[in-house]
Amino acid sequence: MAGFDGASSRLRSQPYRREWKREGMPSERWVTSVDELFQIFRAALVALIPIADRARMPWKEPNNHDDWDSIAAAIYKSIVSRSLEESFEWNGFDTIEEYDRRTDRYSKSSFLTTKAEPGACAFICFETKSSPFDTCLLARLDESNAVINFERRRADTVSFVLAGRSENVVTIVDTLRVLL
Protein backbone atom coordinates (compact mmCIF):
# COMPACT_ATOMS: atom_id res chain seq x y z
CA MET A 1 0.00 0.00 0.00
CA ALA A 2 1.56 3.28 -1.09
CA GLY A 3 0.47 6.86 -0.77
CA PHE A 4 1.17 10.18 -2.38
CA ASP A 5 0.92 13.76 -1.31
CA GLY A 6 -1.76 15.31 -3.56
CA ALA A 7 0.29 18.46 -4.15
CA SER A 8 3.63 16.87 -4.97
CA SER A 9 2.63 13.32 -5.96
CA ARG A 10 5.33 12.06 -3.59
CA LEU A 11 4.94 8.33 -2.91
CA ARG A 12 5.21 7.01 0.64
CA SER A 13 4.38 3.79 2.42
CA GLN A 14 1.61 3.67 4.98
CA PRO A 15 1.86 1.45 8.10
CA TYR A 16 -1.12 -0.60 9.20
CA ARG A 17 -2.81 0.99 12.19
CA ARG A 18 -5.77 -1.28 12.76
CA GLU A 19 -5.91 -4.26 15.05
CA TRP A 20 -6.91 -7.34 13.08
CA LYS A 21 -8.94 -9.00 15.86
CA ARG A 22 -11.66 -7.00 17.52
CA GLU A 23 -12.63 -8.10 20.97
CA GLY A 24 -15.84 -10.10 20.94
CA MET A 25 -15.97 -10.08 17.12
CA PRO A 26 -15.23 -12.94 14.73
CA SER A 27 -11.85 -12.66 13.06
CA GLU A 28 -13.10 -13.91 9.70
CA ARG A 29 -11.87 -11.91 6.72
CA TRP A 30 -12.46 -11.58 3.00
CA VAL A 31 -9.52 -10.72 0.77
CA THR A 32 -10.73 -8.81 -2.27
CA SER A 33 -9.99 -5.74 -4.36
CA VAL A 34 -11.60 -2.34 -4.68
CA ASP A 35 -12.38 -3.18 -8.29
CA GLU A 36 -14.16 -6.40 -7.26
CA LEU A 37 -16.39 -4.35 -4.94
CA PHE A 38 -17.25 -2.16 -7.93
CA GLN A 39 -18.05 -5.18 -10.09
CA ILE A 40 -20.32 -6.58 -7.37
CA PHE A 41 -22.05 -3.20 -7.03
CA ARG A 42 -22.57 -2.95 -10.80
CA ALA A 43 -23.93 -6.52 -10.92
CA ALA A 44 -26.35 -5.68 -8.10
CA LEU A 45 -27.69 -2.70 -10.05
CA VAL A 46 -28.16 -4.82 -13.17
CA ALA A 47 -29.88 -7.56 -11.14
CA LEU A 48 -32.40 -5.04 -9.79
CA ILE A 49 -33.52 -3.81 -13.22
CA PRO A 50 -36.34 -6.38 -13.62
CA ILE A 51 -37.64 -5.49 -10.16
CA ALA A 52 -37.50 -1.75 -10.91
CA ASP A 53 -39.26 -2.36 -14.23
CA ARG A 54 -41.95 -4.41 -12.53
CA ALA A 55 -42.45 -1.61 -9.98
CA ARG A 56 -42.64 0.92 -12.87
CA MET A 57 -39.57 2.67 -11.44
CA PRO A 58 -37.47 4.28 -14.19
CA TRP A 59 -33.76 3.50 -13.67
CA LYS A 60 -32.15 4.81 -16.87
CA GLU A 61 -30.90 8.38 -17.13
CA PRO A 62 -32.08 11.01 -17.65
CA ASN A 63 -35.51 9.83 -16.46
CA ASN A 64 -34.35 7.75 -13.51
CA HIS A 65 -36.64 7.94 -10.51
CA ASP A 66 -35.49 9.44 -7.17
CA ASP A 67 -36.31 6.11 -5.50
CA TRP A 68 -33.94 4.33 -7.91
CA ASP A 69 -31.22 6.82 -7.01
CA SER A 70 -31.82 6.11 -3.31
CA ILE A 71 -31.60 2.35 -3.90
CA ALA A 72 -28.37 2.71 -5.91
CA ALA A 73 -26.83 4.94 -3.22
CA ALA A 74 -27.77 2.48 -0.46
CA ILE A 75 -26.25 -0.47 -2.33
CA TYR A 76 -23.08 1.52 -3.03
CA LYS A 77 -22.79 2.42 0.65
CA SER A 78 -23.35 -1.18 1.77
CA ILE A 79 -21.16 -2.97 -0.76
CA VAL A 80 -18.43 -0.44 -1.54
CA SER A 81 -18.14 2.19 1.20
CA ARG A 82 -18.82 -0.01 4.23
CA SER A 83 -16.53 -2.78 2.96
CA LEU A 84 -13.73 -0.26 2.52
CA GLU A 85 -14.35 1.28 5.95
CA GLU A 86 -14.35 -2.18 7.56
CA SER A 87 -11.15 -3.27 5.85
CA PHE A 88 -7.84 -3.69 7.60
CA GLU A 89 -6.36 -1.16 5.15
CA TRP A 90 -8.71 1.65 6.21
CA ASN A 91 -6.43 3.95 8.21
CA GLY A 92 -8.88 6.51 9.54
CA PHE A 93 -9.27 8.02 6.09
CA ASP A 94 -11.71 10.83 5.44
CA THR A 95 -15.23 9.80 4.41
CA ILE A 96 -15.73 8.41 0.90
CA GLU A 97 -17.84 10.54 -1.42
CA GLU A 98 -21.38 9.25 -1.80
CA TYR A 99 -22.53 7.58 -4.99
CA ASP A 100 -23.63 10.02 -7.71
CA ARG A 101 -22.70 13.06 -5.62
CA ARG A 102 -21.35 15.92 -7.71
CA THR A 103 -18.80 18.10 -5.93
CA ASP A 104 -16.37 20.75 -7.11
CA ARG A 105 -13.36 19.32 -5.26
CA TYR A 106 -12.07 16.16 -3.61
CA SER A 107 -9.57 17.77 -1.25
CA LYS A 108 -11.43 16.83 1.95
CA SER A 109 -12.68 13.34 1.13
CA SER A 110 -11.57 9.91 0.07
CA PHE A 111 -12.74 8.70 -3.33
CA LEU A 112 -12.63 5.83 -5.77
CA THR A 113 -10.20 6.43 -8.60
CA THR A 114 -8.95 4.68 -11.70
CA LYS A 115 -6.12 2.19 -11.28
CA ALA A 116 -4.45 3.43 -14.47
CA GLU A 117 -4.32 7.05 -13.20
CA PRO A 118 -4.60 6.89 -9.40
CA GLY A 119 -5.76 10.19 -7.96
CA ALA A 120 -6.35 11.84 -11.35
CA CYS A 121 -10.02 10.88 -11.74
CA ALA A 122 -12.79 10.32 -9.18
CA PHE A 123 -15.68 7.92 -9.78
CA ILE A 124 -19.11 9.59 -9.62
CA CYS A 125 -21.60 7.02 -10.93
CA PHE A 126 -22.51 4.49 -13.58
CA GLU A 127 -24.52 5.57 -16.61
CA THR A 128 -26.22 3.62 -19.37
CA LYS A 129 -25.25 4.08 -23.02
CA SER A 130 -25.73 0.73 -24.84
CA SER A 131 -26.30 -1.78 -22.05
CA PRO A 132 -27.24 -1.20 -18.39
CA PHE A 133 -24.57 0.65 -16.41
CA ASP A 134 -21.93 0.20 -19.10
CA THR A 135 -20.36 3.65 -18.62
CA CYS A 136 -18.49 5.28 -15.72
CA LEU A 137 -18.86 9.00 -15.13
CA LEU A 138 -15.57 10.32 -13.74
CA ALA A 139 -14.45 13.73 -12.50
CA ARG A 140 -11.03 14.74 -13.86
CA LEU A 141 -9.02 16.39 -11.05
CA ASP A 142 -6.22 18.93 -11.08
CA GLU A 143 -3.20 18.96 -8.71
CA SER A 144 -5.29 20.49 -5.89
CA ASN A 145 -8.07 17.87 -6.39
CA ALA A 146 -10.49 20.40 -7.88
CA VAL A 147 -12.76 19.09 -10.64
CA ILE A 148 -11.69 20.44 -14.03
CA ASN A 149 -14.06 18.43 -16.25
CA PHE A 150 -16.02 15.20 -16.57
CA GLU A 151 -15.15 12.08 -18.55
CA ARG A 152 -17.06 9.00 -19.54
CA ARG A 153 -15.35 5.62 -19.96
CA ARG A 154 -16.67 2.18 -20.73
CA ALA A 155 -17.07 0.31 -17.45
CA ASP A 156 -15.43 -2.83 -18.84
CA THR A 157 -12.20 -0.90 -19.54
CA VAL A 158 -11.74 0.70 -16.11
CA SER A 159 -10.38 -0.79 -12.89
CA PHE A 160 -10.71 1.04 -9.59
CA VAL A 161 -8.67 1.61 -6.45
CA LEU A 162 -9.28 3.69 -3.34
CA ALA A 163 -7.69 7.11 -2.92
CA GLY A 164 -7.86 7.23 0.88
CA ARG A 165 -7.28 10.75 2.16
CA SER A 166 -5.91 11.56 5.59
CA GLU A 167 -5.24 15.29 5.92
CA ASN A 168 -3.10 16.24 2.87
CA VAL A 169 -1.86 12.73 2.11
CA VAL A 170 -3.64 10.33 -0.24
CA THR A 171 -2.97 6.61 0.08
CA ILE A 172 -3.79 4.35 -2.86
CA VAL A 173 -5.33 1.02 -1.83
CA ASP A 174 -6.02 -1.83 -4.26
CA THR A 175 -6.25 -5.09 -2.27
CA LEU A 176 -8.39 -5.24 0.86
CA ARG A 177 -8.84 -7.54 3.81
CA VAL A 178 -12.42 -6.90 4.86
CA LEU A 179 -13.51 -7.74 8.39
CA LEU A 180 -16.69 -9.83 8.30
Question: pLDDT tens-digit profile of 95-148?
Answer: 999 999 999 999 999 999 999 999 999 999 999 999 999 999 999 999 999 999
When pLDDT is cut at 50, 70 and 90, the band that residue 18 belongs to is very low
Is the predicted pLDDT of residue 6 greater than 50, yes or no?
A: no
Q: List Cβ neighbours of 55 (8 Å cut-off, separation of 6 or more).
A: none
Residue type for 116, please? A
How far is it, in rounded angstroms, from Cα 141 to Cα 104? Answer: 9
Q: Kindly report, residue by residue over 20-75, the tens digit of the pLDDT.
A: 455 555 567 899 999 999 999 999 999 999 999 999 999 998 888 899 999 999 99
When pLDDT is cut at 50, 70 and 90, the band that residue 151 belongs to is very high
pLDDT greater at residue 21 or residue 91: 91
Half-sphere exposure of 12 (CA within 13 A, CB side): 13
When pLDDT is cut at 50, 70 and 90, the band that residue 11 belongs to is very low
The phi and psi torsions of 161 (rounded to 5 degrees) equal: -135, 170
pLDDT greater at residue 2 or residue 140: 140
